[in-house]
Structure 1
Amino acid sequence: MRLSCSAALLAFALTACSTSDGPADEHLVAPILTSAEAQDEYTWARPTEARVTHVSLDLALDFAAQQVGGTATLDIVAADDAREIVLDSNGLQVSAVTDGAGEPLKFTLGENADGSEKGEPFTITFAEDSGAVTAPEQIVVTYKSAPGAEALQWLSPEQTAGKKHPFLFSQGQAILNRSWIPTQDSPGIRQSWDARIAAPAALGVVMSGIRRGDAESGPDGTKIYTFEMEHSVPPYLISIAAGDIAFAQLGPRTGVWAEPSVLEAAKEELGDTEAMIDAAESIYGDYRWGRYDMIVLPPSFPYGGMENPVMTFLTPTFIAGDRSNTGLVAHELAHSWSGNLVTYASWRDGWLNEGVTSYIENRITEKVFGELRAEQEYALSYAALVGMIEQEGENSPVTAMRTPPGTSPFDTASEAIYDKGTVFLRTVESIVGREKFDPWLRNWFDSHAFQPATSEMFLADMRENLLKGDKALEDKLMLDEWVYGTGLPGNALKPDPKAFAAVDAAVAAYADSRDLTAIEAEWPKWSAAEQRRFLERLPEELSPSELAGLDTTLGLSGTRNAEVQFLWLDAALRNRYQPVVPQAEEFLTRVGRNKFVSPLYAQLMAQDEWGQAIARALYARTRGGYHSMTRGSVDRIVGWTE
C-alpha cells in the first residue's frame, strides 16, 4: 500500500499525517480539508469516511468502439466504522468490482437524482450487516467508458494534420474524468497513480506521468506503455493522448510532442521553455515534477493549454512563428507551483489556481522577455477585467474571485478568476514590496506542497506570515473585499499608461480620422500585444470600406497569430462585413479552442438574421469536430437541438 496514514487518522481527516512543523512531505497522504469553504458540491464522494489514495489503471484503447476499458485498482483508506466507499461516475459501464484478493464486492451505480452535471454515485459496499468490518485495502473495478465519454475526444484521421491515423486526447478539468476513470473525482481528494496502456502499434501514447521504460509489444498488434505519477495530484490532472506523434528535445528537462508535420514549428516556438523554468525557480523554488514536456494537440482541443503535470497539453493556435503567444506556455508552466503543487479544494476557489498562476506567468514573462512585454500583458489583462465588470455590473456575483453561494463556479466570468486574481496579487505586491512578497509566496508553496487549499487558508497565511498583525497594512490591502467581494476594489494597481502610449495615441487618431497612413509603417514593428491592443480599441462601428482598408493595409487576413486573427474576425463580423465570412468559416472549421469559437458564434448570433443564418448553417457542419466542452457552450449560444 502507498499509505503513510492510518485509517483511524483518516476518520478525522484533519492532518496530513506529518510529524513535523516544516514543509509538507510530498510522499505522505494529502489531508482532506473539512472547513465549509473546502466542501465540493460536485462530487458524490464522502472522503472523511473512505477515500482513494492511489489509482492503478490497466486499460486498452479501442478506437473502433471509441472506448477505453480494463481495470482500475484503487488503494483506499477508511474510517473504522465505514461500510462503503462512494466514487464518481458519468456513464461508466462497470461489469465487476472485487477486493484486492479477487473477492466480489457489491456495488450500485445510482442515478443523477438532482439532474446536475456531476453524474452518478458509484457506491461499493464492504459489509451490509451491523457487525465489525475491515475495509479492503484495495478495490478492483472492471469497466469501460461509455461511447461519447465527455472527457475523451476521438478524432478520425481526417481530423488530424497527418490524415493517416486516428487521435485520442482527454480533457479532465473540471469534472469530466469521472467519465473514463472510476475514482473520487474532486480536486480536494489528491491521489497518486500509475497506468499501463495498450494502444495500436502505429500510435504513440503520452500521459501526465513519467513514462517508465520503452513501449513493449502487446497482443493483437498493440504496444504497451507504462506511466507513473508518484506525487499525489487532483484527479482532473490524470490525462492521456494517443496518435501519430513524434518528440523533439528542447533542453535538459524539456521537450515537445506533436504530429510530425507540426513538430518543427512547435520546437521553434517553444525554444524559451527552459529559460522560463529557470526564471520561475529563481523566484518560487525548485520545479518538483522531474521533466516538463508538452504535446501540441490537434486544433479541436478546447483550451489554450492544460497544465497536466509533466505533459502540458497545448493548442496549435499558440504557434505564431515569432514566440509572441508563449505567455500561454509561461502560464501552464506556472501551474507547476500554483494549481498542481497547491490545489484548490473546491471549484469555488478557481482564482486560487488561475489567478495566482496568471500572476506568476507575468513574473516569468518579465524575467525572460523584459519589463515592457510584462507590463503590456498586464495592461491587456487589466482592460479585460474592467470590460467584464462593465458588462456584468459591479454587483454581479460572477465578478467575485471566490464564487459565492447561489452561483455556479462554472458560470463565474473567466476574467474574475484569471485577471482579477492577477490584479489582486500585483496590488498586494506593489503595497508590501517584492522583497517581502516573493519570499512569502514561495513559503506558501513550500508549506502547502502537494496539498489542497482554500481562500480562507490563503488569506490566513498572508495575515500571519506577510502582514504579521499590521492593522494599517491590512486596511490598505482590502483583502476580503478582493477575494469575496464583487467589482473592482478601489486600491487596484493600474497598469503603467506608458506601456501602450504609442498604440493608444494611434488608435485615438484613427478613431478621429479613419486614416491608416501613420499606422501602416508602425504596424509591422509592433509586438503582438500592441497589435491586439489596437484591434481591441477600434471603434465599434466600422464601414465596409474602413474594414477593407484595415485588412489591406495591416494584412489582417494573412496573420499567423490566432489572437490577432480572432480580434479581426470579431470586429468584421460585428459590422456584418460579408467579405470576411469565408475566412471566419475556415477559422471556425479549423479551430476548436473555445476562447475563440464561442465568442465568434455569439457575435454572429447577435447580428440578427444575417449572422444567425451563417452561424446555424456553419455549426451544423462543424459541431461534430468540436470537443464536448466547446459543443456545450456553443449549443447554448445557437440554441442547438438534436
Structure 2
Amino acid sequence: MPTLPATLPQPNAALPQPPDPHSYAQGPALRHLRLALTVDFARRELAGAATWLLAEPLASAIQLVLDTRDLTIESVHSGEDASGAALPYTLAMPDAVLGQALRVELPAGAASVCIRYRTSPEAAALQWLAPAQTAGQHPFLFTQSQAILARTWLPCPDSPGRRFSYEAAVEVLGPERGQLLALMSAADNPQATAPDGRYHFRQPQPVPAYLLALAVGRLDFAPLGERTGIYAEPATLPQAAHEFDELNRMVQAAEQLYGPYRWGRYDLLVLPSSFPFGGMENPCLTFVTPTILAGDRSLTSLVAHELAHSWSGNLVTNATWNDFWLNEGFTVYFERRIMEQLYGRPYAEMLQVLGEADLQHTIQELGSTSPATHLRLHLAGRDPDDGLNDIAYEKGCLLLLTLEKLVGRVRLDAFITEYFARFAFQSMDTDRFATYLSQALLTPAEASQLNLPAWLDGPGLPPGAPVARSARFAAVEEALARLAAGAAPAELQPITTEWSSQEWEHFLRGLPPTLSAADLGQLDTAFHFTTSGNAELLAAWFPLALRAGYAPADAALENFLRHVGRRKFLVPLYRALLATPGGRARAQAIYRLARPNYHSVATSTLDELVGRSA
C-alpha cells in the first residue's frame, strides 16, 4: 500500500462532521451520557433521567438542541441531577419523521444538563411483548434504535455522526423484577438476574445513539468462549448455544483479517420472533432473530455479518444515513471473507451469487436508472429506512470486490486494516472516503480504471462490475435442468442429500413461476419444503405456493406470518399474498391477527402495503 501522505488525518484525530438532514442536534459537544431508567411493563413505559456531560464547561450561554419523538419532558435542570437550577426549554412542533427538537438554554459555566422524561407506550423503538408473544411465561422488552428511533426512548443527538460514551442504571419494576434480566449494548452485561431488579451498565467507548440498546426478559446465559457467549430465553438457549458454537472461531477469523476486536466481549442475544431484522450490531451484544436457528448452522453468515459491523459501522461509522453504504458494503464484503476463512471459498461464492441475485432484483424493482440505486443516497425529507436495501449492502460489496480485482487482496486488506485503525471511533462520509481511497490506495491509473463516481453517484451497476460464479451451484442448475426436462422430483434425491441451505435456496429461486399445484405437491412430497424449519427456505417456497394455489402450504404460511416478525420475509410474502385472487381480504385477515406481534419498523411498511384498517 502507498505511504499515507502527511496531509491525511492522523489516527483517531477528530473529523469535522457534515450536516445531518435527519437530526436537529446542535450546540456544544456532548461527551458522556448518564442514564437512569425504570422499566414498567404494566404501563409500557421507560421513565427516568438522561444526564448529558458536556465536553467542556461553557464559556458563554448557548442553546443545546436534542432530538426527541413522542417523549414527555418533565423537567430540565443544570447539573447532574434534578436538584440543580431549572433551565428554560421548549419543544418544537412535531415532524412525522424527525419528531421534535428539544431546545435547552444553557448558561455560561454549565458542564452538564439533566432531563427527566417518560416514553410513550407507543414509542417506535420499543417492543413490549406479553408472555404469550415469547418463548416462555414472562414479558419481554427490546429496543431497535436504528436508524433514527433512539429519540423515541431518550432525548439525544440522534445522528450517526455524534458519538458519546455512556453509563446506565436500570431498574425493572413489578412482581417479576427478580426473574427478568436487563442487558444493554455495554461492556459489562450481567450473566444472572439481580433479585432486586437493579442493573448497572458501562460503555466506555464512544458510540452513536443508534447503537444504544436495551433488552429485558427472562433470559439465561451460556458461555461459548472466554470473551463470547449467548443469551436467550431458557427454552431457546440449548438450540442457540449449539447453533452458534463456532462464534469464537468467527471472532478469531475476523481479527486475523482486519485487526483486533476493540469492544471487549462479543455476546449474542436471541430475541423473540417479533424482532424485525436478521440482526442488529449493538456493540458488545448483537441482537439476532430466532429465524436463523435452522438446526444445522447453515444461516450463521448473518452472525458473521453482525460481527463484521464491530469494525465497519461500530468502529468506523457512516456520518449520515446518506452514507449508509460505508457501513453495509464493507460489512458484506467482510462477512463473506470471514465465511471463506472458516468454510472455504466455494461456500463464500454461494453467498455472493445469492447476494448479487438479490441486488439485481432490487435494481429491477427500483428501476435501473433510478437515483435510489446510487451508493450515495439523498434521503433528506424522507425516513432513512427508505434507503436500507440491497443497494447499500450488495452494490457496496461489489465496489470492494472491484477494488480487490484491481489492486489485489494483499493491498486491499492492508488498506482496510489501516482504514479501521486510523478512523476508529469516528464517522466517515462518502466524499472523505473517496479522497482517502484515492490518496491511500489507488494510483492515478487505477483510480481512472475504477471510475469511483460511477459507483457512488451513478445508477445501477457500472460496466465491468464483477459477476460471481459458484461451482457448487452447478449441480443445483443440473437438477433444475433435469426437472425441466421431465424428471420426477424423487429422481433428484441422490444428488441433493448433501445440499446446504444456500443450495436449496438457489434451487427454489430457479424453479419456474409457472409450476402448478400438482408440480409443487410432488416437490413437497420429495423434499418437505412446507414443513421445513429453515426460515430462508420457507420464505422462498411460500411465494411459489401462493402463485400456484398450493393449498397444503396455506396453514404453514399463515403460521409463519403470525409468528415471524422479520421484515425481510414479511414484505415479499404479503406482496405475494396480495397478488393472488382474493388475496387482499386474506392478507388483511392474517395481518389483523399478526400485527400485535410486529415491531413498528415492520408495521410502518406493512400498514401502507396491506391496509392500516386491518
Q: Flag whether TM exceeds 0.5 (same fold).
A: yes
Per the TM alignment, residue 194 of structure 1 is displaced from its structure 2 partner at its CA by 0.8
- Percent identity, aligned pairs only, is 41
- Look up the SS of the partner of 1:201 in the other structure: helix
Question: What is the distance in 2 between the residues matched to 1:234 and 1:81?
Answer: 27
Matched-pair contact (CA < 8 Å) for 2:51–2:113? yes
Equivalence map 1:433-448=2 (5 Å)? 433-448=408-423
**Which residue of structure 2 aligns with residue 527 of structure 1?**
500
TM-aligned CA deviation for residue 341 of structure 1: 0.1
**2:41 — aligned with what?**
63
Aligned CA distance change for structure 1 residues 350 and 450 (closer, same or farther; 3 Å): same
Of 75, 89, 94, the match for 1:107: 89
Equivalent residue number for residue 451 of structure 2: 478
Q: Secondary structure at the match of 1:411?
A: helix
* Aligned partners of 2:183 and 2:190 also within 8 Å: no
Matches within 5 A, 1:549-588: 549-588=522-561
Cα gap change, 1:405 to 1:43, in 2 (>3 Å)? closer
Is the contact made by 1:337 and 1:445 (CA closer than 8 Å) also made in structure 2?
yes
Which secondary structure does the structure 1 equivalent of 2:387 belong to?
coil
Residue 427 (1) aligns with residue 402 (2): yes
Label 1:216 to 1:600 Cα distance change in 2 as closer, same or farther (>3 A): closer
Deviations 1:319-376 (A, max 9, x none): 0111100000000000000000000111011111011101000000000111111011
Q: Which residue does the alignment assign to 1:248?
A: 222
Distance 1:546 1:476 in 2: 49
* The 10-residue stretch of structure 1 (376-385 or 73-82) with the greater mean CA deviation from structure 2: 73-82
Aligned residues between the structures: 599
Aligned to 1:169: 142
Deviation track 1:486-523 (CA, whole Å, cap 9, x = no partner) reads 10111211112534111122223323426324422222
Whole-angstrom CA distance in 1 between matches of 2:51 and 2:365: 48
Name the SS of the counterpart of 2:113 in structure 1: strand
Report the CA distance between 1:213 and its aligned residue: 7.0
Partner of 2:202, secondary structure, is strand
Aligned residue runs from structure 1 range 63-142, under 5 A = 63-77=41-55, 80=59, 83-100=62-79, 102-112=84-94, 115-127=95-107, 134-142=108-116
In the TM superposition, what whole-angstrom CA distance separates every residue of 1:449-491 from its partner, at most 9, and x where no partner exists?
0001011121211111111xx2221122121111221101112
- The verdict on how the C-alpha distance between 1:498 and 1:155 changes in structure 2, with shifts beyond 3 A counting, is same
Partner of 1:7: none
Give, in whole Å, the separation in 2 of the partners of 1:339 and 1:405: 19
> Match of 1:197, SS?
strand
When residues 574 and 136 of structure 1 are mapped into structure 2, their CA distance, relative to the original with a 3 A threshold, is farther
- Distance (whole Å) between structure 2 residues aligned to residue 424 and residue 171 of structure 1: 29
* Aligned-pair CA distance for 1:396: 1.0
* Partner Cα distance (2:345, 2:246) in 1: 16
Q: 1:571 to 1:235 in 2, by over 3 A?
A: same
Change (3 A) 1:350 1:321: same
Match of 2:554, as an amino acid? Answer: V
> How much does 1:51 deviate?
3.0
Where does structure 1 lack aligned partners over 5 or more consecutive residues? 1-19, 128-133
Deviation at 1:573, TM superposition (A): 1.3
- Counterparts in 2 of 1:151 and 1:490: CA distance versus 1, 3 Å: same
- DSSP-derived class of the 2:117 partner: strand
Deviation at 1:216, TM superposition (A): 9.1
| 3-state SS of paired residue (2:385) | coil
Match for 2:187 among 210, 214, 219?
A: 210
Whole-angstrom distance in 1 between the partners of 2:394 and 2:513: 23
Residues 230-253 of structure 1: per-residue CA shift (max 9 Å, x gap)? 011111101011110000000111
Listed as ranges, the gaps of 5+ residues in structure 2 are: 1-7
Distance 1:613 1:521, change over 3 A: farther
Runs of 4+ in 1 over 3 A off after TM superposition: 77-82, 212-217, 404-409
Which amino acid is 1:202 matched to? Answer: Q
Give the 3-state SS of the residue equivalent to 1:486 in structure 2.
Answer: coil
Residue 595 of structure 2: SS of its match in structure 1? helix
What is the alpha-carbon distance in structure 1 between the residues aligned to residue 9 and residue 364 of structure 2?
46
Letter of the 2:588 partner, please give it: R
Determine if contact 1:84/1:123 at 8 Å carries over to the other structure. yes
Alpha-carbon distance in 2 for matches of 1:249, 1:413: 33
The residue number in structure 1 matching 2:3 is none
Alignment equivalent of 1:542, drawn from 486, 501, 515: 515
Partner of 1:23: 11
TM-score (norm 2): 0.94
**Residues 177-576 of structure 1 correspond to what in structure 2 (within 5 A)?**
177-199=150-172, 200-211=177-188, 222-404=196-378, 408=382, 409-412=384-387, 414-467=389-442, 470-513=443-486, 515-576=488-549
Q: Do the aligned residues in 2 keep the contact of 1:398 with 1:407 (CA within 8 Å)? A: no
Evaluate the alpha carbon distance shift between residue 641 and residue 53 of structure 1 in structure 2; reply closer, same or farther with a 3 A threshold: farther
What root-mean-square deviation, in Å, do the aligned CA atoms of Structure 1 and Structure 2 show?
A: 1.9
One-letter amino acid matched to 1:104: A
Q: Whole-Å Cα distance in 2 between the matches of residues 637 and 371 of structure 1?
A: 39
1:619 to 591, 602, 605: 591
Task: Report the CA distance shift for 1:300/1:566 in structure 2 as closer, same or farther (over 3 A).
Answer: same
Instruction: Say whether the 8 Å CA contact 2:24–2:66 is kept in structure 1.
Output: yes
Q: CA deviation at 1:222?
A: 3.5
Between stretches 402-411 and 301-310, larger displacement belongs to 402-411
Code of the aligned partner of 2:395: K
Contact 1:397-1:407 at 8 Å conserved across structures: no
Shift of 1:21: 6.1
Q: 2 CA distance for matches of 1:526 and 1:515? A: 18
Give the AA of the match of 1:417: A
